[in-house]
């Protein structure tokens, strides 16, 4: 009987001790954290660099991340989070993933055939990727595999196709591309140079029919000064581009496209 009473007393004492310790060492959670978590999209994709939306909410509430840090959240959601945190958030156009290459099977033929390798990172280290252009798309579909939202598929021409209506701007495809050909660009800016080659013009012509040759014709034609040529490659500043189409008309290789 004494043993039972002793155990009972010890149990009560331990319970009281744990209760006091829990209260003493408890960490108060910022009430804004739950509101921020509620405003986040709940994708838990990890594209923000934090462990899911809960981690993102903790960082925002603690002031370690900006209200607009979530790459998946809409402009309205970012504004709502900013309101919760008492910070004004500027809204900008939605960004979508785009492939900066148009060197498909017809325009930039393969120099090697991979029967078992279907990963772009492995292809890049084997026979130079199987294309004459060392800057172009490898066609292994690693970006498609990385997309968790059904926004990408491989086209018959050997290049990935992005469904912009389904793209949530998470950036997972961007991380998956070993040649950095997938980029998140403003959806409302449709005129894009679909080439990433930094080879000289004569070398580009030998391996790709639609590669940028850095001739500068587009730069001279642009009335808004939105184009420069760097490292033999034309680059469009989306902030300055008015999508007039003058550059497309002058491009001799048709590497500048206006996306639908």
Nearest to 98 by CA among 160, 179, 188, 176: 160
pLDDT recorded at residue 78: 87
CA distances from 79 to 44, 73, 86, 128 (A): 20, 10, 10, 45
Rounded mean pLDDT, 10-24? 60
Question: Could you tell me the domains of the chain?
Answer: 32-92 (1.10.15.40), 93-188 (3.30.70.20), 189-260 (3.30.70.20)
Report the chain's mean pLDDT, rounded to a whole number. Answer: 87
What does the pLDDT look like over 125-179, one tens digit per residue? 776 777 889 999 999 999 999 998 899 999 999 999 999 989 988 899 999 999 9
Rounded mean pLDDT, 205-216? 96
Other Cβ atoms closer than 10 A to 155: 13
pLDDT recorded at residue 152: 96
Half-sphere exposure of 164 (CA within 13 A, CB side): 16
What does the pLDDT look like over 75-90, one tens digit per residue? 888 889 988 998 888 6
CA distance 154 to 145: 10
DSSP label at residue 110 = B
Cβ-contact 38, 57 below 8 angstroms = no
Nearest to 212 by CA among 130, 102, 138, 137: 102
pLDDT recorded at residue 19: 60
Write down the pTM of the prediction: 0.74
Cβ-contact 196, 231 below 8 angstroms = no
pLDDT category of residue 69 using cuts at 50, 70 and 90: confident
E strand or H helix at 56, and its extent? helix 52-61
- Dihedral through CA 31, CA 91, CA 238, CA 172, nearest 10? 30
Rounded mean pLDDT, 184-196? 94
Percent of the chain with pLDDT over 90: 53
- Cβ contacts of 54 within 8 Å, gap of 6 or more: 37
pLDDT recorded at residue 18: 61
């Amino acid at each position: 009987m004494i043993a039972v009473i002793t155990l009972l007393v010890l149990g009560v004492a331990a319970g009281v001790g744990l209760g006091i310790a829990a209260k003493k060492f408890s960490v108060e959670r910022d009430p804004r954290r739950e509101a921020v978590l509620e405003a986040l999209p709940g994708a838990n994709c990890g594209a923000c660099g934090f462990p899911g939306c809960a981690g993102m909410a903790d960082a925002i509430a603690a002031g370690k991340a900006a209200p607009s840090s979530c790459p998946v959240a809409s402009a309205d959601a970012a504004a709502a989070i900013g309101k919760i945190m008492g910070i004004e958030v500027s809204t900008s156009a939605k960004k979508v993933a785009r492939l900066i290459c148009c060197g498909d099977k017809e325009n930039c033929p393969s120099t090697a055939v991979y029967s078992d390798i279907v990963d772009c990172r492995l292809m890049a280290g084997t026979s130079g990727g199987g294309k004459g252009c060392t800057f172009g798309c490898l066609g292994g579909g690693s970006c498609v595999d990385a997309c968790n939202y059904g926004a990408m598929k491989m086209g018959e021409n050997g290049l990935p196709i992005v469904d912009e209506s389904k793209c949530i701007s998470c950036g997972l495809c961007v991380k998956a591309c070993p040649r950095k050909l997938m980029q998140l660009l403003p959806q409302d800016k449709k005129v894009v140079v679909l080439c990433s080659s930094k080879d000289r013009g004569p070398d580009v012509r030998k391996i790709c029919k639609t590669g940028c040759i850095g001739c500068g014709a587009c730069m001279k034609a642009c009335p808004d000064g939105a184009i420069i040529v760097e490292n033999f490659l034309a680059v469009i500043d989306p902030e300055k581009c008015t999508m007039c189409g003058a550059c497309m008309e002058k491009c001799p290789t048709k590497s500048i496209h206006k996306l639908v």
